Chains A and B, each alone.
Chain A
Amino acid sequence: MISDGREIYHDGVVKRLIQFSIIWAVVGMVVGVWLAAQLIWPGLDFGQFWLTFGRIRPLHTNGIIFGFGVSALMATAFYSVQRTSNVPLFMPRLAWICCYGWQVLVLLGGISLLAGWTSTKEYAELEWPFDIVITILWVCFAVVFFGTIATRRIRSIYVSNWFYGALIIVIAMLHIVNNLALPVSINKSYSLFPGAQDAIVQWWYGHNAVGFLLTGGFLGMLYYFLPKQSGQPIWSYRLSVISFWAFTYTYIWAGPHHLHYNSIPEWVQSLAMVMSLILLAPSWATMINGIMTVSKAWRKLSVDPALKFIVLALAFYGLATFEGPMMAIRSVNIVSHFTDWTIGHVHSGALGWNAMITYGTFYYMVPHMMGRELYSVRLANIHFWLALAGTMLYILAMWGAGVSQGLLWLSIDDIGELSYSFNDVMAAMVPYYALRLVAGLIFLAGTVLMAYNLFRTMYGRHTVAVSPPLIIDELQGTVYKEEPREPSSGNAQEVPA
């Protein structure tokens, strides 16, 4: 945008995406809590086919991943790519199309899932008409993001943009290949891949969606907002770049560990296991880089809720990226597979890493963009403890349930028959599921507090107009202070990246 002869960053679209992301977080988590309750009281579907577990479970995952997660990723990518490139967004109208188009897609996609339209592929349940729309919107996202980078005034491309770039490119590749299908009607299609090959393609997609969207994309968020919030440069920029390439190379091989002991070649399983173990190195390199960066900003911890969330997110990132490779070991997987241990693992990442880093980022971005203080630091601190308690309780409940299930399902009697029926095992899980329900409610309560806090912070205000700062030393790629275009009560100035 150019006004009065000066360029201004396009933060309006960022603000709108944050608002949508928060709404989807609350909606997705309400559905998650409902699902947790259904596992205790199955009658909660009220005899309605569209409220059955099989239909609202994908609504939960799609709402969280594509509604909450992708909206947050678009918001943070648009925000940071402008500032690290020192130019406003490329084709800002396309960014707005991306923003609203994506929300309509998630809304209609969610309704289609309730109506029973499904490809049956996990995390890719949406049917072919939606897949085409996703592709178009994703290309728009790519045009805006890479267009901004192409028009940048800073020669070097900051590491967060490498992660966001990988997110856009790899997800495009995965989405297109995994959804190659033959449509037979408006709401039904069949995969082009047969049998076990379809399973391998699906988990190549599924695992790398976790890898490049829920891990890589959010690492982009971490690498931009952690230095900003802590006021410290990344501890080792070189390590961040090395871990990016190691991460990108290694992750793509690990998908078949979701298919251990299934009808795929054993060498494929072993390869996936080995690559999963190697993946620990770049994951932990990033974690150490983050912890060492934040360790220099310890003075801010007592007064800054955003930084607390980011620190906690790093701890859970370390846990989840250790637990994943460990569960990919075949002799561990034989016990853990198909149990709630996996659900606990997923949520240590989803709640502990993805949600926490996003919350920390939103607590940073919203006051900066609105040019005013956060409505209530106290509410944010309460949110922090609710999020920690909810996540820990969730994980512990699922560890208990998962280990019990693994042992019970594999128990055999003296004549070699299974000791327990599936019904016996599931009936024994009710106490754990009750704990999980409580954990979900605690986490949801924290998210609702955040929604209230941030909407009150945004209420009645437009984003502060910020112009790209003057580049003093372009060769070194150094960005200096951003000057607010108009005086404001808040702090729109930022520390060097």
Chain B
Amino acid sequence: MGNLLLFVVLHTPGVVFRQIAEGNTRIIGSVQKLTFLLILLPPVFSFIGSTLFGWRLGAADPLYFDSTARVIISFFYADALILGYISTALIARWMSKTYGGGKVPTASLFAFFTVVLAPICIASAAHIFPHIFFNVLVLIPTIIWSMTLLYRGLPVVMNIPPERGMLMSSSLVGWLLVAFVSLLGLSAALWTYGIGPSIGV
């Protein structure tokens, strides 16, 4: 059932958006169950990749970490994803009044963002070979796919005109960009304090 639903989410997201908008509790519940699986994929793939191949930043020798560092990095990665997922759904709920959205149940918003997140989580399989440029190449089209889902689906789920949906989606993209940059900055700060790769500071 879960695999089939995942296929439906990726293949015909429009159908899922309409079901969510109509408050179909069965679909919403099923999509929510997928969330846990999907959100764990990137840190798990990252852990496997850094164990098997090390981080490949382009230079000759890959960077290998001990098992404790790998666990800590994956743990922080999972935390960041969960925090990003929850905060994005809550921010969307907070923004909905500004953009004329009705009172959409929080469960529906969580289900919607699971659909949006799905392509990125699946494509995170690229982390198994953690060459940064390879990952950039794989994730750029996937991010575009997820953004398309966001722009298409948000007006449907929020029941607002497409133009307002575009504005609200752009605001959420702004938030996600800021969140991503924060993640980069936080990572750099953690490396400086000795968590993660060993750097000479």
Contact = CB atoms under 8 A, between A and B. Distances in A.
B136 A332 contact: no
Contacts, number: 122
Nearest to A323: B181
Contacts of A408: 57-59
Interface in B142-201: 161-164, 166-167, 170-171, 173-174, 177-178, 181-182, 184-185, 187-189, 191-193, 197-201
Interface residues of B, number: 40
A232 interface: no
B133 interface: yes
6 contacts: A298-B163, A319-B174, A319-B177, A329-B189, A331-B189, A396-B140
Interface of A: 291-292, 294-295, 298-302, 311-312, 314-315, 318-319, 322-323, 326-327, 329, 331-332, 334-336, 341, 393, 396-397, 399-400, 403-404, 406-408, 410-412, 416, 418-420, 424-425, 427-429, 431-432, 435
A403 B192 contact: no
Contacts of B99: 295, 298
Given A403-B132, A425-B59, A299 B191 contact: no
Contacts of A329: 185, 189
A326 B181 contact: yes
B174 A315 contact: yes
Contact of A335 (B61, B162, B181, B192): B192
B104 to A, nearest CB: 18
Nearest to A330: B192
Contact of A407 (B177, B185, B191): B191
Contacts of A322: 178, 181-182
B62 to A, nearest CB: 11
B57 A407 contact: yes
| Secondary structure of the B contact surface, majority rule | helix
A414 to B, nearest CB: 10
Contacts of B199: 335, 407, 410-412
Nearest to A322: B178
A286 B89 CA distance: 24
Nearest to B161: A298
B98 interface: yes
Interface string B14-30: 00000000000000000
A432 B164 CA distance: 35
Given A404-B58, A406-B188, A407-B199, A397 B161 contact: no
B58 A431 contact: yes
A428 B58 contact: yes
A449 B162 CA distance: 27
A219 B33 CA distance: 46
A312 B147 CA distance: 14
Given A322-B178, A411-B63, A399 B184 contact: yes
